[in-house]
Amino acid sequence: MTALVLIFIVGTIFLIWFSWWASLKDKRFHGIYRFFSFDSILALVLLNARFWFVDPFRPLQMISWICLAASIPPGIQGFYMLKKFGRSKGKFEETTNLVAQGAYRYIRHPMYASLIFLGLGAFLKNISLGTILLAFVNIFALYLTAKADEKEMLSRFGGEYAAYMKKTRMFIPFIF
């Protein structure tokens, strides 16, 4: 068994455990879809690992690096805003306040947007049929994650969240 396959297996086992610990045991089912996003990103990184620093100024590589860099701010800011304003009643995801500051003022899911950019950046390192499929799985899984998360937030915050949904986009400000 190659080292990359072993890393993928160990990584997948960790992601299953994390999904259970972070969401599923508390009946927050968006964690099921998020698992597929995390696992597809892990597979993209491992499949394209040997291409990360090959010909770094090729246009596709430059776009890849831009996507990877673009993944950092929404992830960090989204995490920070949830931690600061969400008033978690235990685990990080159990917010008691609707957060509509910072990136959340424009998009409902900055951390998922971060994962989309991360997946796209890893995908663009070397495009193949397999990586196209994995990139699609990542984006579709994050879309399903966001939809499930929104259902959970609607049940938690009701009309306040419904009004928030009308004012914001899902992943990309003013667009999607």
Token pair for residue 135?
């990139």
pLDDT at 146 over 70: yes
Read off the pLDDT of each residue in 51-75 and give the average, rounded to a whole number: 94
Report the candidate in 101, 103, 110 with the shortest Cα–Cα distance to residue 149. 110
Q: What are the angstrom distances between the C-alpha of 154 and each of 71, 147, 151, 162?
A: 26, 10, 5, 7
d(CA 116, CA 134): 12
> For 64-86, what is each residue's pLDDT tens digit?
999 999 999 999 999 999 988 98
pLDDT at 157 over 60: yes
pLDDT at 142 over 90: yes
Q: Cβ–Cβ contacts within 10 Å for residue 38, how many?
A: 23
* Length of the chain, in residues: 176
Q: What is the pLDDT of residue 1?
A: 61
Model pTM greater than 0.75? yes
Place of tokens 């699609």: 136
First vs last Cα of the chain: how many Å apart? 41
pLDDT at 172 over 90: no
pLDDT at 176 over 60: no
> For 90-137, what is each residue's pLDDT tens digit?
676 778 899 999 999 999 999 999 999 999 999 999 999 999 999 999
Q: What is the pLDDT of residue 145?
A: 94
